[in-house]
Amino acid sequence: MLNESYFEEKDGVIVMASGRSLLTGLFVGGIIGGAAVLLTAPSSGKQLREKMKTNYDSFEETIKRLKSDGLALKDQLIKAAKESTDVIKDVGGELQTSIKKWQEEIKPHQQDLQKEIADIEEKIRQLEKTLQN
């Protein structure tokens, strides 16, 4: 019977669920692999205990390294997120400043264009009046 929190079914295939699946897979695989090697190798009880201790120590070291690497990755992700947030804030501020400057630069041209449009509209009205008479 499958534990539903670790496995899910996708397109008829049972796969490990996301999240803790990698660490769980490594842990279970390490235990199963270590047990299989120890139990299938012909050796005395003392040798078996020594191999089990060696494998346990190796497995423990691997887990510590994975934990350390995971924490380092977490720290790098946090740092990258903070830096990207700072960059986005800076770019946003610069963009707002540029837009305000651009609006100020085009204001006189915009006023000139509005005046010219009003003049053209007035000339069109006068022309229509002339044509009606």
Specify the residue for token string 């499958």. 2
| Domain layout of the chain by residue ranges | 41-132
Q: Mean pLDDT in each 10-residue stretch from start to end of the chain (133 residues)?
A: 52 57 75 76 73 82 87 89 89 92 90 92 91 81
| Sign of the CA dihedral with 98 first, then 99, 103, and 109 last | positive
Residue pair 24/6 in contact by the 8 Å Cβ criterion: yes
* Predicted TM-score (pTM) above 0.75: no
Q: What is the pLDDT of residue 60?
A: 86
CA 15/CA 4 separation, integer angstroms: 11
| Range list of β-strands (E), the chain | 7-10, 13-16
Residue 53 is classified by DSSP as: H
